[in-house]
């Protein structure tokens, strides 16, 4: 039996300001789009609304959700993150207590040196920019960071809007690092460079033992998701509100 697929039923997607929320809605032939949970799909600014509307306009005769990452992220922000903002903020903040950049290899010396050269500057940036001093350790046994650092990390995540937190969640969870996620959110370095920092261990293993095609493909898809999350976070902060 063939899988049912939703067919395109609209001619044009457009955006319009929402007087009550101050955001922007997406309209299909003048009718508002709703999230899977039936909430109005209202975006925080015109820039994000245009990105979502463009995905709807780009659809062919059959709706393909895999080609609509901005719509999916917006739906997640409205249906999942906004109703449980505190829980999501706490979940992301927890990465800071076991950050990828703080768990260093004990050997070989070449990998130890590479981690130190690439990761230490990011920890230095976090300390100078946000006053958060995360302490690296060797091995894989968890060692808690200071309560002061944890409280500052929690303050950052709690202050984010639902749309910011949606993008930030993916930046952190995909990279395994609160530090790299925050650097991406603040556009400290390009997405591809930050993603490469999150894969130093995997890159090292591939250099020693060879590359696996399936693993490389999976990593490529995750890298694309990381880049999208960075763009989504940027749009969530856009001040381009003109329709």
Mean pLDDT of 225-239: 94
Residue 90 has pLDDT above 50, yes or no: yes
Task: Express each pLDDT in 167-225 by its tens digit.
Answer: 999 999 999 999 999 999 999 999 999 999 999 999 999 988 878 888 889 999 999 99
Q: What is the 3-state secondary structure (H, E, C) of 5-55?
A: CCECCCCCEEEEECCCCCCEEEEECCEECECCCCCECEECCHHHHHHHHHH
User: Which class does domain 84-236 fall in?
Assistant: mainly alpha
CA of residue 73 relative to chain centroid, distance: 9
Cis peptide before 217, with omega less than 30 degrees from 0? no
Strands of 108-159 (E only): list them.
137-138
- pLDDT score of 1 more than 80: no
The overall average pLDDT reported for the chain is 94
- pLDDT per position as a tens digit, 58-78: 999 999 999 999 999 999 999
Residue ranges, CATH 1.10.3580.10, the chain: 84-236
Percent of the chain's residues with pLDDT above 70: 97
Output the pLDDT for position 159.
97
In 3D space, the residue among 103, 224, 222 whose CA is nearest the CA of residue 173 turns out to be: 222
In this structure, the strands spanning 13-17 and 42-43 are unpaired
DSSP string, 94-118: GGGGG-GGGEE--S-HHHHHHHHHH
The answer to whether domain 13-67 has CATH 3.20.20.60 is: no
Separation CA 219–CA 200 (nearest Å): 12
Segment 131-167, tens digit of pLDDT: 999 999 998 899 999 999 999 999 999 999 999 999 9
- Cα 45 → chain centroid: 18
Q: How far apart are CA 42 and CA 53, in angstroms?
A: 11
Q: Give residue-wise pLDDT tens across range 5-26.
A: 788 999 999 999 997 778 999 9
CA angle 85, 91, 95 (to 5 degrees): 140
Q: pTM for the complete prediction?
A: 0.93
Q: Is the pLDDT of residue 240 over 60?
A: no
> What is the pLDDT at residue 213?
84
Taking alpha carbons only, the member of 236, 223, 186 closest to residue 51 is: 236
Q: Which residue's entry shows tokens 């937190």?
A: 165
Among 37, 48, 46, which Cα is nearest to 82's? 37
Contacts of 52 by beta carbon, 8 Å cutoff, 6+ apart: 26, 33, 41, 43, 68, 70, 71, 74
Domain with CATH 3.30.2180.10 in the chain: 13-67
Give the phi and the psi of residue 107 in degrees, each rounded to 5: -165, 160
User: Tokens 């659809």, residue?
Assistant: 59
114 pLDDT band, cuts 50/70/90, is very high
Task: Categorize the per-residue pLDDT at 3 as very low, low, confident or very high, splitting at 50, 70 and 90.
Answer: low
Band (95; pLDDT cuts 50, 70, 90): very high
Task: Output the pLDDT for position 105.
Answer: 95
């Amino acid at each position: 039996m063939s899988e049912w697929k939703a067919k395109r039923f609209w001619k044009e997607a457009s955006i319009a300001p929402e007087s009550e929320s101050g955001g922007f809605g997406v309209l299909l032939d003048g009718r508002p789009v709703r999230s899977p949970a039936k909430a109005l799909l209202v975006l925080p600014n015109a820039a994000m609304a245009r990105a979502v509307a463009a995905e709807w306009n780009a659809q062919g005769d059959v709706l393909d959700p895999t080609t609509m990452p901005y719509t999916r992220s917006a739906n997640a922000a409205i249906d999942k993150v906004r109703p449980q903002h505190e829980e999501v903020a706490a979940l992301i903040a927890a990465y800071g207590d076991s950050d990828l950049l703080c768990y260093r290899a004990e050997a070989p010396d070449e990998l130890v040196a590479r981690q130190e050269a690439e990761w230490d500057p990011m920890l230095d940036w976090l300390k100078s920019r946000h006053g958060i001093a995360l302490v690296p350790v060797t091995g894989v046994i968890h060692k808690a960071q200071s309560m002061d650092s944890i409280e500052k990390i929690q303050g950052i995540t709690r202050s984010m809007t639902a749309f910011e937190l949606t993008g930030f969640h993916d930046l952190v969870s995909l990279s395994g690092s609160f530090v790299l996620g925050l650097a991406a959110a603040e556009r400290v370095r390009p997405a591809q460079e930050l993603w490469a920092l999150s894969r130093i261990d995997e890159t090292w293993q591939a250099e020693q033992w060879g590359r696996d095609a399936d693993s490389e493909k999976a990593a490529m898809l995750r890298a694309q998701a990381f880049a999208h999350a960075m763009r989504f976070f940027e749009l969530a902060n856009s001040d381009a509100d003109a329709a």
